[in-house]
Amino acid sequence: MKKGIHPEYRPVVFQDASANFAILTRSTIKTNEKITWEDGNTYPLVKLEISSASHPFFTGKQKLLDTAGRVEKFKKKYGKKEA
């Protein structure tokens, strides 16, 4: 591997404040914030707006839409007109 052409790959904490969820993983993302993790070490911090802990699909709180009614309304409005 060539020296100096690859980004720094290091441990980073990703935190979803809305769900009180954080995960320590490795990344090349750049950030200026830091956090002290459970092991006592300080790591770069990336704040997330949404994660698997707060996303409706993963939490089971996803709402199903009435697509049948929408399709019928679309066909009625834009469907072929009979001659």
Local structure of residue 64 (DSSP, 8 states): P
The reply to whether 83 falls in a domain is no
Q: Which neighbouring-strand residues pair with 16? A: 21, 48
Q: Is residue 15 pLDDT above 70, yes or no?
A: yes
φ, ψ dihedrals at 21, nearest 5°: -130, 135
Local structure of residue 81 (DSSP, 8 states): P
Number of domains comprising the chain = 1
Tokens of 53: 């802990």
pLDDT tens-place string over residues 25-74: 999 999 999 999 999 999 999 988 777 667 655 555 655 566 667 777 88
Q: What is the CA radius of gyration of the chain?
A: 23
The reply to whether 71 falls in a domain is yes
Query: 56: domain range?
Result: 10-78
The reply to whether 5 falls in a domain is no
Average pLDDT over residues 71-81: 79
